[in-house]
Amino acid sequence: MDSGTVLTRAGTPLRMRNSMKQVFTRPESLKDVQTHFCPGCHHGSIHRLVAEAMDEFDIRSKTIGVASVGCSVFLYGYFDIDVIEAPHGRAPAVATGAKRSRDDRIVFTYQGDGDLAAIGTSEIIHAANRGEDITVIFVNNTTYGMTGGQMAPTTMVGQKTSTSPYGRNQAKDGYPIRMAELLAQLEGVAFSARVAVNSPKNVMQAKKMIKTAFRYQVEGRGFSFIEALAACPTNWGMKPLAANERVGSEMIPYFPLGVYRNTANL
């Protein structure tokens, strides 16, 4: 993109007068396209932070992304990188095969909470336990977004979804799983942190953490994991602002932000 162009929130370039200073540009690792995400969806912000980390380490041309099945399945449509689309839940195993066969590449997965914390628990736990030198971006929006808002393993107790119409009942459905803490117990994990993108402060912190996660891999230090709390206004039946607020009022108290494992103190 030339230096006289800037993106609006909707992604359409605006011509600027030369005297104006450019303060907000699209990361090079992202394509200049509109996303299919609903208004207020946090997938877009998280995509952007991942792309910024890739730009900062200048690794776009050597990165292989592994897309999961969920609302983020179109990873290849937004990131300007080579992508493998994995079966539902299997992204960490696919990434393992890719990284082991091309160990000079940066390999990351991008997975939802249904994908990673339900059907894919075996693959994530064992990739983490083997200490695969990959980065996992885990987007926890407490629901199955793509399939229409069914209950996920991360759905909050009492939360109504299309398959928990009376609210999640811990006696029958169990409790929401805290993946960042769970994986931090494994010796194979080098870095595990939980972030959110619901406020400017949290976005700045999330940016830093995602960068650290990639730094682990760039320096060949092993498995790094980011859990990003996210809003799904559409399936929560909320307006974007209210959904954004729910991340702070309901999710963060149960899913505390922070670093749970940081073996190299990066």
Partner 1 sequence: MSEKLFVKGNEAVAMAAIEAGCRYYFGYPITPQSDIPEYLSRELPPLGGEFIQAESEIGAINMLLGASATGVRAMTSSSGPGISLKQEGISYMAGSELPGVIVDIMRAGPGLGGIDASQADYFQATRGGGHGGYRIIVLAPASVQEMYDLTMLAFDLSDIYRIPAMVLADSVIGQMKESLTAHPRPQTVLPAKDWAVRGREAGEPQNVVKSLYLGDGEMEAFHWKMHARYQELAEKESRWEEVQTEDATLVVTAFGSTARIAKTAISMAREAGMKVGLLRPITLFPFPKQAYEAISGNCKNFLTIELSTGQMVEDVRLSVARDAEVSFYGRPPGAGSLPTPEELFEQIKKRYLNS
Ligand X SMILES: Cc1ncc(C[n+]2csc(CCOP(=O)(O)OP(=O)(O)O)c2C)c(N)n1
Does residue 217 touch partner 1 according to CB under 8 A? no
From Mg ion, ligand SF4, ligand X, none, interface partner of 35 (C-beta below 5 to 8 A by class): none
Name the one range near ligand X by CB under 6 A: 18-26, 102-110, 113-121, 161-169.
113-121
Asked whether the beta carbons of 88 and 120 are under 8 A apart, the reply is yes
For ligand X, the closer of residues 28 and 173 by Cβ is: 173
Does residue 113 touch Mg ion according to CB under 5 A? yes
Q: How far is the CB of 93 from ligand SF4 (least distance, A)?
A: 24
Alpha carbon distance 17, 120 (integer Å):
50
The single residue listed with the structure tokens 């505390």 is 256
How many chain residues bind ligand X (CB under 6 A)? Answer: 17
Q: Residue ranges of the alpha helices (H) in the chain?
A: 43-56, 75-78, 91-101, 113-114, 121-130, 170-173, 179-184, 200-218, 233-236, 240-246, 252-254
In the set 97, 131, 240, 248, which binds partner 1 (CB under 8 A)? 97
Alpha carbon distance 247, 196 (integer Å):
8
Asked whether the beta carbons of 190 and 207 are under 8 A apart, the reply is no
Q: How far is the CB of 42 from ligand SF4 (least distance, A)?
A: 7
Alpha carbon distance 189, 126 (integer Å):
10
Residues 6+ apart with CB under 8 A from 195: 202, 205, 206, 209, 210, 226, 227, 228, 229, 257
Contacts of partner 1 in 53-72 (CB under 8 A): 60-64, 66-67
For ligand X, the closer of residues 110 and 216 by Cβ is: 110
In the set 65, 92, 114, 145, which binds ligand SF4 (CB under 6 A)? 145
Alpha carbon distance 194, 46 (integer Å):
13
Q: Which residues sit at the interface with ligand SF4, rule CB under 6 A? A: 37-38, 41, 43, 71, 141, 145-146, 232-235
Q: Which residues sit at the interface with partner 1, rule CB under 8 A? A: 60-64, 66-67, 73, 76, 80-87, 90, 93-102, 105-106, 122-123, 125-126, 130
Q: Which residues sit at the interface with ligand X, rule CB under 6 A? A: 69-72, 88, 112-115, 139, 141, 143-147, 152
Q: Which residues sit at the interface with Mg ion, rule CB under 5 A? A: 112-113, 141, 145
